[in-house]
Structure 1
C-alpha cells in the first residue's frame, strides 16, 4: 500500500505539470481551433533558457546560485513572452485569415527552430542544475519504507494549483474571459458585437505561452535538465489530452492533464517504463476515437 501511495505522490507532481500545460494549450487553441505544436516547444525552450542563463550567471558573472537561478527564471519568461508576440503577430494572425490549416505546419517549423536554438546555444551539451530543495517530506512510513515528496515537488504543485485557480477565476469573471468565450464560439459574431478579436487572440496566445514557460521553469528546477527533444514529446501528449477533453474549457483540460500525469506515474511504478509513452499515447488515441464516435452518435441526422 505504501508503494502505491508513493507512486500516487509522484503522480501529483507529474500531473501538475501536465495540468498547467493543458490549461495553457486550451487557452490558445480555444481561439485558434488549430493544432499548435509550438506550445510544447515553448515549454522546453523556457526550461533550457533557465538552465543556460543560470549557468552563465553562475560561471561568467560570478553570481550566487539563488541569484543565477533568478536570472534564469527572468530570462525564461522574457523569451517566452517574445516568442508569444512573434507567434501571434507573424504566424497566427496572417495564417488564421489566409490559410488556417497551415498553422500546424508553421508551428512545427517554430518547434524545430526553438529546439535547434536551444541545442546550439548549449553546444549540444546537457547542462544540469544542482539539486535544490531536495529534502524529503514524509507522508507515511512503515516496514522501513517511506512515502515522500521533496520540498521542490510540493512547491511546484502549490505554484501550479495557484496558477490554474487564478487563471480559471480570471476566465470566469473578467471581461477578457467573456470576450475569450465569445471569440471561441464565433469570432465573426464577436467582432460584430464590438469585441477586439485580434487583442483577445493575442492575449490568449500570451497567456498560453506564460503557462508553458511556468511549466518549463518548474520542470527545470525539479529535474535539473530538459532534453532538446522534450518539446515535441510534451507537445504531442498535451495535444491528445486537450483534444479528448475539449478546447473550450481550460479547467477541464487541466483535469485531463492531471489524470494523464497520474496515469504515467502509476505505469512507471508497475510496468516497463520503456513502453510507457507508447501505451499512454495509444490510450489517448483510443479515447479520442471513442469521444468522436460518441459525438457523432449524438448528432441528429
Structure 2
C-alpha cells in the first residue's frame, strides 16, 4: 500500500473517531455531574440515552407516516417528543425510585437503574410493536478534505455537525461549571454537602438540578447519535450505560472535564481498533481495557 494512501486511511480514521469521541465525552460529562454528588454508580444515563433515541425514531416515523408531515417537520416532532418524554421519565424515576432508594440503601441504586433501563426499553419496544424503525438518511452529503485518488478523506455533513455540536456543548458546560455560581455550588456539595449546607447552599436542590442536567445530556446525545446512525437498538442502553460508567471512572468520575477527556480518548482508541485490528474482538478488548484501567486508576487515587 503506498505511503500516501496509508496516511489518507489514518486521517480518515481520525475523522471517523470525532463523532464517537464527542458522543462518549458528552455522555461521560453528564454522568459525572450526578456521580460526583451521589457517589454511586448509576446506569440510568445509558437507559435515558437509548430511550431518547428510540422515542425520537418512533415519533419521527409517526409524524411522517400517520400525520403526513414533511420530513423536517417530522424530525422536529421527534426531537420535541424525545426531549419531553426523556425529561419526564428522568423526573419520575429520579423522584419516585432513585432518590428514596438512595436515602434507604444507596447501593440499591445500581439494581434500580438496571430495572429502569429494562422498563424503558420494553415500553418503547411494545410501542414500536417490536420493529426496528429507521430514519430516512439526511445531511449525508460528503465533504472532501483530501481528494486522494486512492483513498479520499471525507466526512458527511451530519458527522461534522454532530461532532462540533457535542464538543461545543461539553466545552460550554465545562466553562459554566467553572465560572458560574451554580458551578461553585455544585463543587461545594460534591466536596462536602454538610459544610455546603452550613454555608446556605441547598444540597437537595443542587442534586436535583444535576440530575436533570444529566438527563438533558443523555437525551441530546441519544437524539444526535440516532440521527447519525439512523436507529437505536433496544439493547443499546445497557451497552452505553456500562461504557459510560467505566469510561467516567478512568477519567475521574468526580471531575466532568477529566471524564469527558478520558471518554474522548476511549472513542479514538475504539475507532482505531476497528480500523487496524480484528473487528470481532473490539468490544472484548475495549471492555477488558476499561476494567484494567478502572482498577489501576482506583488504586492510584487511594494511594
TM-score, normalised on structure 1?
A: 0.96
Across the aligned residues of Structure 1 and Structure 2, the Cα RMSD in angstroms comes to: 1.1
Q: What residue in structure 1 maps to residue 3 of structure 2?
A: none
Give the one of 73, 78, 93 matched to 1:67. 73
Q: Which residue of 1 aligns with 2:20?
A: 14
- How many Å apart are 1:93 and its aligned residue? 2.2
Q: Contact between 1:13 and 1:156, CA under 8 Å: does it hold in 2?
A: yes
- Equivalent residue for 1:285, pick from 286, 291, 300: 291
Alignment partner of 1:269 out of 275, 282, 303? 275
Q: Aligned pair 1:243/2:249, yes or no?
A: yes
Q: 1:228 aligns with which of 231, 234, 237?
A: 234
Q: Give the deviation of 1:117 after TM superposition.
A: 1.1
- In the other structure, the counterpart of 2:179 is 173
Match for residue 197 of structure 1? 203
CA distance in 2, matches of 1:129, 1:251: 32
How far apart, CA to CA, are the structure 1 residues paired with 2:37 and 2:110? 14
DSSP 3-state at the match of 1:149:
strand
Structure 1, unmatched stretches of 5+, are: none
Kept after mapping to 2: 8 A contact 1:23/1:164: yes
- Shift in Å, 1:2: 0.7
- Residues 116-166 of structure 1: per-residue CA shift (max 9 Å, x gap): 112111111111001111011111132331111100000001110221122
Q: Give the SS at the match of 1:168.
A: helix
Q: Secondary structure of the equivalent of 1:10?
A: helix
The answer to whether the Cα contact below 8 Å between 1:2 and 1:141 also exists between their aligned partners in 2 is no
User: Do the aligned residues in 1 keep the contact of 2:82 with 2:219 (CA within 8 Å)?
Assistant: yes
The Cα shift of 1:12 comes to: 0.6
Structure 2 match to 1:86? 92
* Unaligned ranges ≥5, structure 2: 1-6
Q: Report the Cα distance in structure 2 between the residues aligned to 1:135 and 1:192, rounded to whole angstroms.
A: 56
Report if aligned partners of 2:52, 2:83 keep a CA contact under 8 Å in 1: yes
Q: Distance in 2 between matches of 1:102 and 1:189?
A: 26
Count how many residue pairs are aligned between Structure 1 and Structure 2: 297
- Counterpart of 1:41 in structure 2 is 47
Shift, 1:195, TM fit: 1.1
What's the TM-score once normalised by structure 2's chain length? 0.95
SS at match of 2:146: strand
